[in-house]
Structure formats: C-alpha cells, structure tokens
Amino acid sequence: MESYLIFVVYAAILLACSMAGAFLPRIGSLGERHAHALVALSSGIFLGLLFLMLLPEAVEECEHGDYDAHVVMLALLGGFVLIMVIDFFIKGDCAEGHSHKVASFSSLAGLSVHAVCDGMALAATFLAGEEVGLVATIGMCIHKFVVLFSLSSSMLLAEESGKTVLKRLFGFSLITPVAGLLFMLFFNGMDVDQYSGLPLAFAAGTFMYVAIAHMLPDALHDGRDWKTVAAIIAGILLMLAVSLVFPHVHRRSEFGFV
C-alpha cells in the first residue's frame, strides 16, 4: 500500500495546486508574462518526461511482454489521438457559444473528460516507478494551475458568482486525482510485467498532445522570446538531470501496492 499512499499525497498536492490557480483571479492577477513562463517550464518538463523517461521505459518493457515496439507506438498514438478528439469537441462547443458563460461551461464540460484521461495517464506513470510519478505530478501541477486560473478567469468574466465558480472548479479539480486513484485501485495487486509498457505509452501520448498542441503554442505565441525558450529548455534539462540520477527504475512485479 506504500505507493498507493504516496499517490494519495501527490493527488492532494495536485488538488491544492489546482485550487490555488482557481482562487488566484479572485485576489489578483497572475500576469501574462508569468503565466507564459509557467506554461513554458511545464511544457519542457512534459517533453523531457515523454522522451527521456516514459517512451524509453515503455519500449524497454517490450522485452517482458508478448508484444513489440510497434504495439507500443500504437498505444502512444492512441493516447495522442484520444486527447486530440476530445480537444476537437471542446473547441467546437466553445466556438458555437455566443457568450462567455456558454463558452466557459462548454470548456469545463469538455475538459472534465480530458481530466479523466489526465488522471489515468498520471497513475500510469507510476508503472515506471515512484520517481517518474513524482516528476509527472510536478509537471501536472503546473499545468493544472494555469488551466484552473484560465477557467476561473473566464467564469468570472461571465459574471458568475465567486462562490459558484469555486464550487464548480473544486469539483473539476477532483476529477484527475480521483480518476488516478480509481485507475490504481483497478490494477491493485495485478502482475503488470506483461503489459506495463502499454499504459506508459498511452500516458506518453496524452502528454505529447498536451505539450505540443497546447503548451508550446501558448508559450511561444508572442514570437521570438528567448526567456520562454530558455524556460522550455530548462524544463527539458531538469528532466535530463532526473533521468541521469535515476537511470533505471526497478519496478516490483505488482503495481507498487505492497
């Protein structure tokens, strides 16, 4: 149960970071420059996590399973395409809205499905070890902070009451941690050696789409800003340092719950 309890702690930290982002528009402004810096750093962390940890670990697991690297790549593509389709419907609903209120509600509804996938992907990273799970949690915390800040600002712009906004966003913030906990409970005690590379690859696909389609465009939309590029590279170098400190994670035969 040790790893499960650790995930509960990480989930609580993720919830706290999410609600901090939701509460900030009520007391002040994050500032566009600082928001871009956080997005850039988070995108670098996600890219480093993807290419330096999740994908190498997923491919390595082919040796222990009854599948090859092509199946791993299909799982990667599946995670990418799933989030892309969800994102397509979210943007479509928002485009059809004729007010900030409709757009913010549509965004929240669509992102709720996205949040379920985030929770599953975050839990899947623990298949590669608690250290990788911690790194993924840090990146997810930064990402959720910025997302909740944007949602809260949009809802307040729609002239919704502050208490109503916080209640809705608290419910939304619970989705990712709860989905992750349910995912881990589902695999509790199972022997994952035969297929652990597949959920890792799926998680990598979701992180890839979030980083490439959301974070990088948001961070770089102002053009040639070397500080933003430096923040992205800093995130990648941070993941490189972590991968060198933990070059190989020895998993247990069960999903880390013993």
Residue 254: beta bridge partners? 191
Question: Taking 60 as the threshold, does the pLDDT of residue 134 lie above it?
Answer: yes
Band (56; pLDDT cuts 50, 70, 90): confident
Distances (CA, A) of 162 to 62, 144, 146, 150, 155: 50, 19, 18, 14, 9
Averaged pLDDT for residues 186-193 = 63
Averaged pLDDT for residues 133-152 = 84
Band (192; pLDDT cuts 50, 70, 90): low
Question: Which of these, 178, 171, 177, 218, lies nearest to 43 by C-alpha position?
Answer: 218
Look at residue 116 in the predicted model and tell me its pLDDT.
Answer: 87
Q: Annotate 88-108 with b (16+ C-beta within 10 A) or e (fewer).
A: eebeebbeeeeeeeebbbbbb
Q: What is the three-state SS of 29-78?
A: CCCHHHHHHHHHHHHHHHHHHHHHHHHHHHHHHHHHCCCCHHHHHHHHHH
Look at residue 220 in the predicted model and tell me its pLDDT.
Answer: 82
Tell me which range, 61-65, 90-94, 240-244, is most confidently predicted by mean pLDDT: 240-244
User: How far apart (Å, rounded) are the C-alpha atoms in residues 240 and 237?
Assistant: 5
User: Rg of the chain over CA atoms, in angstroms?
Assistant: 18
Sign (positive/negative) of CA torsion 201, 207, 209, 211?
A: negative
Q: How far apart are the first and last CA of the chain?
A: 5
Angle between helices 100-124 and 162-186 (to 10 degrees): 30
- Phi and psi angles of residue 143, each rounded to the nearest 5 degrees, phi first: -60, -50
Look at residue 236 in the predicted model and tell me its pLDDT.
Answer: 93
Question: Which of these, 41, 69, 61, lies nearest to 135 by C-alpha position?
Answer: 41
Tell me which range, 33-37, 59-63, 88-92, 146-150, is most confidently predicted by mean pLDDT: 146-150
- Give the model confidence (pLDDT) of 67-126 as tens digits: 778 888 998 999 899 888 887 876 655 545 444 444 455 556 667 877 888 888 888 887
Q: What is the pTM of this model?
A: 0.72
Look at residue 16 in the predicted model and tell me its pLDDT.
Answer: 95
With 0-12 / 13-18 / 19 or more C-beta atoms within 10 angstroms meaning exposed / middle / buried, residue 233 is middle
**Position with higher pLDDT, 61 vs 49:** 49
